[in-house]
Structure 1
Amino acid sequence: MLLLVLLQVLQVSVRAQFCPDLCVCSGGAAELRSVRCSATGMSALPVNVPPNTVKLRLEKTLISRVPRAAFYNLSELRFLWLTYNSITSVHPSSFVNLKALRELRLDGNLLTTFPWEGLRDMPRLQTLGLNNNRLASLPAHAALFLPNITYLDVSSNRLTILAAELLDLWFPLPELQEGPVRRKILGLHDNPWLCDCQISMLTSLSRSLGSPVVLMDQLLTCSKSVGQSGMLLTQADLSRCTRPSVQPAATRVVSPLGSNVILRCDASGYPTPTLTWIKTSAYTDCCKQDVLQNSEQLPRILEGFMQDSPRVGVRWSIISLNALSYEDAGEYRCQARNMAGISEAPIKLKVMGVTRLTRFPKKKPKKTPTKSSPKYKKPNQTSADSNALTEESPLVSNNFPSLKSRNVIS
């Protein structure tokens, strides 16, 4: 009995040696370890968390900031909960080396901004909880770091609008997605939304069959709208929503081989549409079948174009093609998209060039009759001037082609 008590005391002392102060640890050295710290007097992150920790929970503490590389030694961490603390700032490099992290929760803090670029250090992250904070905006560039996020909760914040670019990047067109459509769960409720076309179209998208987005709560309330405040989004007057219209600068372009050409199109609509260039067909001339056989798979999305929005509701885009070849010929489509719909306009590009140089055959010089010829007449020795002129005529004809011949060759 005494031996058993001593073993228990030894286990407790060993566990205490590897467990941070004011925290509770579970799991042995060879097991997946979980650490929970919920002491109200804790004001800084623990520094001696076991390196084999898989789940770390820091809840209801006085921790106010998350510094750089705060969890660098926890490379096996999969779940990180920093919920209901007093966190006001998170360094962009706080999550370095968290390659295995699946779930990050920062619910119930005092965050006014979030370092979205820090998500690059968590390539396997799927769940991100930011509800019950003080976030006032969800910037467009955040979508660049959300491709693997399937659960995003930003409810109970201070959000008023959603950027069109954010939805275009996070919810791309089905034909632009590789593989099956991945559904994403999005929490937007309990925010003071300015109920415009953008948020309305998102809720409509979530109700469609096979939609890539699922809202946790469909009953979004407008704090500001065209009509009254405090009304449900489904009851708001959203007449400003307009499907985009596209106007190309030219529908047919003919340009010489080796030249440079710029294709441009303008689009209007609300919300402000985004533009994409797509090549849908290649050269179809019978003499250029080798170009078709060697061309890439069509249609394909083109890159390297420019676009800008001079004002709300208007956007233009140009694509520059340099040193034209026959592979550049074909049909291009300028596609405009916003949450109200999709429109596109075709532009046909024809590349002209000299493929074969045609020359007229030279006239054969007339044969000089020989003495044996019956039509041969011995020249008159006294008409030297006339004979000289007759002998020069073929030379003049060979060296200086007629005007008509010169025009055809050039």
Structure 2
Amino acid sequence: MYLLAIVHILQSTLLAVHSCPALCACSYGNSGTAELRLVQCSDSGISAVPINVPADTVKLRLEKTWISRVPRAAFYNLSELRFLWLTYNSITSIHPSSFVNLKALRELRLDGNLLTSFPWEGLRDMPHLQTLSLHNNRLSSLPAHASLFLPNITYLDLSSNRLTILPAEMLDLWFPLPGQQGGPVQRRILGLHDNPWLCDCQISMLMSLSLSLGSPVVLMDQLLICSRSLGQSGMLLTQVELSRCMRPSVQPAATRVISPLGSNIILRCDATGYPTPTLTWIKTSAYNDCCQEDIVENSEQLPKHLDSFMQESPRVGVRWSIISLNGLSYKDAGEYRCQARNMAGISEAQIKLKVAGITRIFRIPKRKSQKTPAKSSSKYRKPNQSTATTNTPAVKENQIFQNIPPPLINKTQTASNLVSKAFAIDKTYKTNIADAKKNTQTSIKSKPLENSTTALLSETLV
């Protein structure tokens, strides 16, 4: 029974893989090296994305159906899918996670639907996507963050929509500055025609740059129509005289900044221009001082474009940006440039940052510990050196006591014997001292008596 169950599961899986969805046609195409499964569903009775499309499908076409929405993970089982066409349906919404697991997808077409917005962040699930066609929808705006998900797109068709302006971030993507392009310039094909563009310098500069020699952008149709304001009749862009173009100007908050080591600082610059300029920060040089040769040699390669900064646009034509440096170190010192760019030109301002206290540091010699001199003993005193206490009897007694040779101590002697001998020595010493004092006093008293007797004899003789 267990084997029969396994066989049944395998058969069901094989049927699911090789079966064709209802109202769809499945076929194989030859790519030269292998046969590729193609699935086409174009019946008007289809109102939802089929869920039983064979897993080995390489190209899926859902065309001219009543599909109105693309749900989450609608194509999750189609990991080998390379071409997805959802053209001329009634799609009004696409879930941001609709394209999960489409790692091999190369081409996505959504022409002829009713889309008013597109989930640009969903392009992250299709890292190899190169062709994106949104022709003939109802898109009225192109958000600035869309540029973050379009670096690999080489064919982008936005024609026949309701677009009026292009964000500056999109123009930076299509016309990168020298040094910002990681590798060789990638050529792109853009479809921008049949949109009610506003006549401004942004769309005009895009047109002129696309016509320049070696331009990275090629327009499908160069006859773009624009109008002075929404609702007005349009005219060819080449016939419009644009006067609102203004090259950006940059004003830094400070041109020289000195801050102590370990502090936190913010560098800021403001830019004005039309179209609203975008700002970038570049560190062009390290601190070049006589005492910082080692730091300059070990610094990273410059100039370097900085990624961690903020920028905001409070109104049209104005943009500000700040860069925050926390815990300043020696390598942060140097020259920073705030660069503003729009379709009319490029401007920049420089800010010099110096970290206070940057000097060459020598090794400080260790301070020798000053030892307190030991008390000098009597044997190191000079012969003529004397103190106030050397003439006192106590000192003399000590000196006399020190001249007494120490008694010979036998290991077999007891503590009581040693004590008795010590008392005997002390008694002898005290007796000697008393006799010496007595003799001294006697000699002193006898001298005056002798003098008086001599005086009496001398008077008698006279």
Per-residue Cα deviation, 1:55-114 (whole angstroms, up to 9, x for no partner): 011111111111111111110000001111111111111111100000000101111111
Q: Does 1:326 align with 2:327?
A: no
Match of 2:123 among 116, 119, 123: 119
Please tell me the root mean square deviation across aligned C-alpha atoms, in Å: 2.4
Per-residue Cα deviation, 1:340-363 (whole angstroms, up to 9, x for no partner): 1111111122222174699xxxxx
Cα contact 1:65–1:90 (8 A) shared by 2: yes
Match of 1:153 among 131, 153, 157: 157
Compute the displacement of 1:325 (Å).
2.3
Compute the displacement of 1:121 (Å).
0.8
Indicate the residue corresponding to 2:281 in structure 1: 277
SS of aligned partner of 1:117: helix
Match of 1:87 among 85, 91, 109: 91
Indicate the residue corresponding to 1:166 in structure 2: 170
Within a 5 Å distance, the mapping from 1:182-221 to structure 2 comes to 182-221=186-225
Compute the displacement of 1:167 (Å).
2.2
Indicate the residue corresponding to 1:142 in structure 2: 146
Within a 5 Å distance, the mapping from 1:93-108 to structure 2 comes to 93-108=97-112
SS of aligned partner of 2:323: strand
SS of aligned partner of 1:112: coil
Change (3 A) 1:86 1:240: same
Compute the displacement of 1:263 (Å).
1.9
Indicate the residue corresponding to 1:25 in structure 2: 26
Compute the displacement of 1:15 (Å).
12
Q: Structure 2: which 5+ runs fail to align?
A: 1-14, 365-462
Match of 1:76 among 76, 80, 95: 80
Within a 5 Å distance, the mapping from 1:235-246 to structure 2 comes to 235-246=239-250
Match of 2:234 among 218, 226, 230: 230
Rg larger for: 2
SS of aligned partner of 2:54: coil
Match of 2:290 among 286, 292, 300: 286
Q: Return the alpha-carbon distance in structure 2 between the equivalents of residues 158 and 354 of structure 1.
A: 58
Q: Return the alpha-carbon distance in structure 2 between the equivalents of residues 247 and 197 of structure 1.
A: 23
- After the TM superposition, which segments of 4 or more aligned residues of structure 1 sit over 4 Å from their partners? 14-17
Compute the displacement of 1:260 (Å).
3.0
Q: Return the alpha-carbon distance in structure 2 between the equivalents of residues 354 and 105 of structure 1.
A: 59
Cα contact 1:143–1:170 (8 A) shared by 2: no
Per-residue Cα deviation, 1:140-161 (whole angstroms, up to 9, x for no partner): 1111111111111010111111
Compute the displacement of 1:169 (Å).
4.1
Compute the displacement of 1:257 (Å).
2.9
Indicate the residue corresponding to 2:137 in structure 1: 133
Change (3 A) 1:285 1:17: closer
Q: Return the alpha-carbon distance in structure 2 between the equivalents of residues 354 and 209 of structure 1.
A: 49
Match of 1:43 among 42, 47, 51: 47
Per-residue Cα deviation, 1:32-54 (whole angstroms, up to 9, x for no partner): 10111111222222222111110
Q: Does 1:175 align with 2:179?
A: yes
Cα contact 2:292–2:358 (8 A) shared by 1: no
Compute the displacement of 1:292 (Å).
1.1
Q: Return the alpha-carbon distance in structure 1 between the equivalents of residues 336 and 291 of structure 2.
A: 21
Compute the displacement of 1:165 (Å).
2.4
Q: Return the alpha-carbon distance in structure 2 between the equivalents of residues 341 and 179 of structure 1.
A: 23
Per-residue Cα deviation, 1:261-301 (whole angstroms, up to 9, x for no partner): 32221111101111111110112112211101110000001
**Matched residue type, 2:67:** I
Deviates more, 1:166-175 or 1:179-188: 166-175
Deviates more, 1:293-302 or 1:61-70: 61-70
Change (3 A) 1:237 1:17: same
**Matched residue type, 1:23:** C
Indicate the residue corresponding to 2:61 in structure 1: 57
SS of aligned partner of 1:156: coil
Compute the displacement of 1:180 (Å).
0.1
Cα contact 2:17–2:56 (8 A) shared by 1: no
Deviates more, 1:328-337 or 1:96-105: 328-337
SS of aligned partner of 1:43: coil
Within a 5 Å distance, the mapping from 1:236-385 to structure 2 comes to 236-353=240-357, 355=359
Q: Return the alpha-carbon distance in structure 2 between the equivalents of residues 181 and 307 of structure 1.
A: 26
Cα contact 2:312–2:321 (8 A) shared by 1: yes
Cα contact 1:138–1:162 (8 A) shared by 2: yes
Taking every aligned residue pair, what percent have the same amino acid on both sides?
A: 81
Equivalent residue pairs, number = 345
Q: Return the alpha-carbon distance in structure 2 between the equivalents of residues 263 and 39 of structure 1.
A: 61
